[in-house]
Structure formats: structure tokens, C-alpha cells
Chains A and B, each alone.
Chain A
Amino acid sequence: MRELFFFQPDIVSALASGLWISVQLIIPSALLGIIIGVTIGALRVYGTPSIKAMANGFVLIFRGFPLVVQLFIWYFGLPYIGIYLSPFVAAVVGFSLCSGAYQSEYVRGAFLSVKTGQTLAARALGFSQIKMILFVTLPQAFRRALPGCGNEIIYLIKYSSLAYMITCIELTGQGKIIASDSFRYTETFMVIGALYLILTTVAAWLLRRLETRLHIPGFEQYG
């Protein structure tokens, strides 16, 4: 009989609030990650040597430090220099920067895949460097980077579970609480896993729709 009581309303509402926190973490982190990724990726391709070096340094650090360590620094470390971030903000900052570092690699590759002739043509027409990037290379690079960037977003959905390590109680955090209260680790985490699976499936579907929507002849997608 106990099995039937396992999913009580309070457990369902705890899971729902955890899921909601997760979604609130994921969406801004994904968007900021893309913005940071595009910016850093563009700087790594079109920047002056010193700017390139700085952008590469950014990627080296935020891709090289374990994400948990980065979160600990934002949440537990910054107070030592008088900066207090809420668990939620610290998590979003940590996720965005880490995600941005990974995204920049996909974006960089995509910028490099735009034929140099097109940059010559843009410059010959009188485009400044920044206008050329915004109106000629970025729209093409973004389409080429999309599958990779989508992959990173899927990954972000799953590593958002690390937020509970800095006391931001999202889906995994709620799961941990429920599991330790009920001792039903297997069931609880099976449910949590399934909820993440739903999130990633929805995200994959949305990304696929975006790809289709942005599709133009000459930028073929397969499958």
C-alpha cells in the first residue's frame, strides 16, 4: 500500500516547484550562454591579436574549471570580496559563463566556415567590420552553429542540476529532499530522470523547429 501513497500531493507540488526553478535557471542561462558564445566566438575570429588572446583566455578558464568549482567560487568565494549573490543568481552566472565558453567554440567554427569571399564582397561594398559581422557572417554562422549550440543547450539542461550544490533547490535538489525523507531513492530519481528527459525532448523538438524555420537553400540540413 505504501507505494500508492508515495506520490502524495505535497510530493507532486515539491517536484513541480523544483521543475519550475529548473526551467527558470535553464532559460536565462541558455539565452545568456548563446549571447556570450556569439560575442566571444566573434571576438576569437575577428578580434585583434590581443582581443583574441583575451577571448581565448576566457574560454580556457570557463571551459577548463569544473563547473561545480565555478559555482562554489561565485557563491561561496565572492562574499570574501564583499559580493553577495543569491543562490539563483550565482547559478545563472555560473551556467551562462560556462555555457558561453562552450558555445563560443561552435560559433567560432561556424564563422570560420563562412567563405572568405563573402567577407571580401562585404568589405568591397563599404561594410564596416562590425556591420559585416552582424549582417553578413553572423546570420550564416548562426545557422551553421545551431546543431552544435542546441547540443550544448541540452547539456545545460542536465548540468543545471548542479545548482542544488549551492543551495538553489531546483528539481534535483527537491528530489534529494524527497528521497532522504522517504528513503525511496530509486523511485524518486527515476521520476526526476524522466522529468529531465521530458525537458530535453521538448528542447530538442524546439531546436529542430528553429532549424527548420531558419532553413534556406544552400544551408542544407539532413535527416
Chain B
Amino acid sequence: MADTIPILRIEQMTKRYGDKEVLKNASLSINKGELKVLIGPSGGGKSTLLQCINFLIKPDKGRIWLDGEEILRAKGKALYDYRQKVGMIFQDFNLFDHLTALHNVEIALVRVKGLNKGEARDRAVLELGRVGLTEYMHQYPAELSGGQKQRVSIARALAMDPEIMLLDEPTSALDPELISEVLDVIRTLRSNGMTMIMSTHHIGFASEVADELVFLEDGSIVETGSPVKILYQAECTRTREFCSKITEMYGNASS
């Protein structure tokens, strides 16, 4: 019974801006080690959903459970503790511009987790090594390429020992030739058993690594299923239309 409890479960998540509902009753659950990919047109609610999960956007309605425990108080220390367990990767990397790669990874370990400088340094060096950036650890964000920046941000999130990672279009701001270095890192995370929810337009990559694709449009989860089902046997017409269009643009699993 124990291993059927999903690591993260959200129910009836709703977010409104004025009269516009950008997220409508979205429910989702994910088991340990799974990778779910959110697909759908821009403005469909993928980012909003991801940012509601760690309360960067405060949902108007909805419940969240992490490890079977409901997050009831999304405030103060309880919120900061919860966020440490939910790593997030952004489309624009969002590295701290005034810190080197090494300090970007270190700072939350020292200031949030309370590790001492030495422990934090060791951990940061280890994580940067894992994403292949040992030689770049003393560079500032302005001196790194997009792909390198995104890898630093992945190292920064992983250093916090998250139970789950949210990746919000991690490759969308990258030049085409830099995309694969980031996708490789995500592939490695996947094979190491990291639980992830990721939004992307890279349908080929998604179908290769995802356990499940979740199609979101106009703030609603329209359809959920295995990559094969969503890509080739979708029940909903909109899902089929979207998938054929995006497959044409972003290619198949080979990419």
C-alpha cells in the first residue's frame, strides 16, 4: 500500500486573474521516480500550474499533498520548508547575476539550509561536477552560455535535495545547439530516479522520457496518457491537432 501513495498530489487547483480563469480545477498526481510532461499551447496554463505547485503563484482554490501530507499552511517557515523539497527550473534560468556559478549553488545551502561554508562548498562543487561545469564554477552568469546557465540552475536546485523537480520549459530560451546539453542532464536525472514534472514543446524528447503526457489547454487538463496514446491515439480532437502540429515543428524522438 505504502508505495502507491503518490509523492505529490494536487486536486482541483484553480487560479483566476480578474474574470479570466487561467487554471481550472487541475488535478494531478505523480509517483516517485515518474516524469510527467505538460504539453499544450502557450497561455494554456502550464506555467501557472507549475508555479501554483510551489506557491510562487497563490492558487485561489486547490489542495496539495507532498508525501501523503497535505500542505495546509502555505506561509512562513512551513512554506519555506516545503519549497526546499520542490526544486524549480525556469525557462530564463534566473541565476543570481551577482554570484559566480559556485556561489549560486552555495547560497541557498548556507542561507536557507543553514549548512556551514565548508559543507556548502563541497556540495556545490559536487553538484556542478555532476552537470559537467567544474571548470566554469568561478564564472559569473554573464560569462556563461545559456546551456551552461541552465545546468547551473539545475545544480542549484539539486543541491537542496528536492523530492520533486518542476521544470518550466527548461530549453525554450536556448539556442538550438545548446538544447541537447540540457536535455542530457534531464535524461540523467530521470535515470537516477528523480521525480519530475516538466513543461516543454520538445515533443520528441517528451515522448522518449515521459511516463505520461498531460495536455493542457485554456487552463484545463484536457487529456492525460502515455506518450503513445497522446501522440497517436488521442481521444480529444484538440490534443490530436496540437500534437501533429508540434511534432511537425519539433520533430520526433530522435531530437
Contact = CB atoms under 8 A, between A and B. Distances in A.
Interface of A: 115, 117-118, 120-128, 131, 135-136, 139-140, 143, 216-219
A118 B94 contact: yes
A131 B80 CA distance: 11
Contact of B141 (A126, A128, A131, A218): A218
A124 B89 CA distance: 9
Category for how many chain B residues contact A = 20 to 34
B94 A121 contact: yes
Contacts of B153: 121
A123 B56 contact: yes
Given A125-B156, A126-B112, A127-B111, A115 B94 contact: yes
A120 B90 contact: yes
B83 A216 contact: no
B194 interface: no
B64 to A, nearest CB: 15
Contacts of B80: 126-128
A217 B56 CA distance: 29
Contact of A216 (B84, B98, B157): B98
Given A117-B92, A217-B140, A125 B83 contact: yes
Contacts of A216: 98, 140
A139 B98 CA distance: 7
B69 interface: no
Given A118-B97, A121-B95, A126 B90 contact: no
B157 to A, nearest CB: 8
Given A118-B97, A128-B80, A218-B143, 16 more contacts: A118-B94, A120-B56, A121-B95, A124-B56, A126-B80, A126-B83, A126-B84, A126-B113, A136-B96, A136-B107, A216-B140, A217-B142, A217-B143, A218-B97, A218-B140, A219-B97
Interface string B99-118: 00000000110011100000
A206 B113 CA distance: 37
B97 A140 contact: yes
A75 to B, nearest CB: 42
Given A120-B94, A218-B141, A131 B111 contact: yes
B243 to A, nearest CB: 30
B84 A118 contact: no
Among B93, B94, B95, B160, residue most surrounded by chain A Cβ atoms (within 10 Å): B94
Contacts of B51: 120
- Tell me whether chain A's interface is mostly helix, strand or loop, or mixed: helix
Interface in B212-235: none
A122 B107 CA distance: 10
B119 interface: no
A118 to B, nearest CB: 6
Given A120-B56, A217-B140, A218-B140, A126 B160 contact: yes
A91 B98 CA distance: 37
B108 A218 contact: no
For the complex of A and B, the 5 pairs showing the least CB-CB separation, nearest first, are A218-B142, A121-B94, A117-B94, A126-B84, A124-B88
Interface string B139-164: 01111000000000100110010000
Contacts of B157: 124-125
Given A120-B94, A121-B96, A216-B98, A127 B140 contact: no
Contacts of A140: 96-98
B54 interface: yes
A131 B97 contact: no
Contacts of A219: 97-98
Contacts of B208: none
B68 to A, nearest CB: 21
Contacts of A139: 98
B70 interface: no
Nearest to A131: B111
A145 B108 CA distance: 25
B67 interface: no
A127 B97 contact: no
Nearest to A135: B111
Nearest to A127: B112
B102 to A, nearest CB: 13
B90 A125 contact: no
B107 A135 contact: yes
Contacts of B113: 126
B241 interface: no
B172 to A, nearest CB: 13
Given A126-B160, A127-B108, A117 B90 contact: yes
